[in-house]
Amino acid sequence: MSKANTILYLDGVSVSFDGFRAINNLSLVLDKGEMRAIIGPNGAGKTTMMDIVTGKTRPDAGEVYFDGNVDLTRHDEADIAMLGIGRKFQKPTVFENHCVEDNLLLSLKGPRSILPALFSRRSTAENKRIDDIFDIIRLGHRRGDLAASLSHGQKQWLEIGMLLAQDPKLLLVDEPVAGMTDAETEETARLLKQIAETHSVIVVEHDMHFVRELGVKVTCLHEGSVLSEGSLDFVSADERVVEVYLGR
């Protein structure tokens, strides 16, 4: 298959830990600009797949390409972040003792140290970037408030904003709605759809209501490989998916 229009291309990827195959001949392709939801039972390999993409774990076998022709197996974690892959872990890790706006400023892409980031005059372009991100993460009215005062859901949105500040081409988002209220969950689906208009996104989630709201192609992983892939309706009607995951 051609890698030309892909943002992520995994083929025949395997990795074992102490003889246990966590990822087993995994092939997964994401087109440029696509948002994909990844589902699957605990231990299916979702986190390990993202560890491979971000360079945290090296595959034992297989091809891992980013943005067409960049061989990610030849790059380390720091390189891969610079190349334009941003990852958001499940638990929010914002700078609690800084205000919301400073959290975004500290994350803006480019060589900067903390003090100049906070105290130097900002360029018009930087101000525009920050305003645009505030529009997406729905926190413009909380700019000056301490990050510690945000709700759990708002902290997740702020961290998504911090990811956007690094200007990634591909965002990997791990269980963003765990612990959110229903209203926050629905808003998060809208927010990610907005982000997906200009970025490629992979979202790992167990919340099927949220996955339905996203309205994107779904990949169900099981035992380190793709068990089923297609629309949510297609995947949820797959008896194997019901057996190992949805029916539980």
Ligand X SMILES: Nc1ncnc2c1ncn2[C@@H]1O[C@H](COP(=O)(O)OP(=O)(O)OP(=O)(O)O)[C@@H](O)[C@H]1O
Backbone angles phi, psi at 169, to 5 degrees: -85, -35
Q: Which of 46, 129, 155, 199 binds ligand X (CB under 6 A)?
A: 46
Quick check: 138 binds ligand X (CB under 6 A)? no
User: Which residues have CB under 8 Å from 130's CB, separation 6+?
Assistant: 101, 104, 105, 108, 122, 165
Q: Identify the three-state secondary structure at position 50.
A: helix
To ligand X, the closest distance from the beta carbon of 161 in angstroms equals: 24
Torsion of CA 25, 42, 32, 87, to 10 degrees: -120
To ligand X, the closest distance from the beta carbon of 223 in angstroms equals: 9
Q: Are 186 and 215 in contact (CB under 8 A)?
A: no
To ligand X, the closest distance from the beta carbon of 78 in angstroms equals: 20
Residue 175's beta-bridge partner residues? none
Quick check: 92 binds ligand X (CB under 6 A)? no
To ligand X, the closest distance from the beta carbon of 166 in angstroms equals: 23
To ligand X, the closest distance from the beta carbon of 129 in angstroms equals: 32
Of 17 and 234, which has the nearer Cβ to ligand X? Answer: 17
Of 92 and 161, which has the nearer Cβ to ligand X? Answer: 92
CA–CA gap between residue 5 and residue 8 (Å, rounded): 9
Residue 228's beta-bridge partner residues? 220
Quick check: 17 binds ligand X (CB under 6 A)? yes
Of 14 and 73, which has the nearer Cβ to ligand X? Answer: 14
Quick check: 40 binds ligand X (CB under 6 A)? yes
Q: Are 7 and 32 in contact (CB under 8 A)?
A: yes
Helix/strand/coil percentages in the chain, nearest 5: 40, 25, 35
Q: Which of 7, 13, 44, 216 binds ligand X (CB under 6 A)?
A: 44
To ligand X, the closest distance from the beta carbon of 145 in angstroms equals: 32
Q: Identify the three-state secondary structure at position 113.
A: coil
Quick check: 47 binds ligand X (CB under 6 A)? yes
Which residues of this protein are in contact with ligand X, per CB under 6 A? 17, 22, 40, 42-48
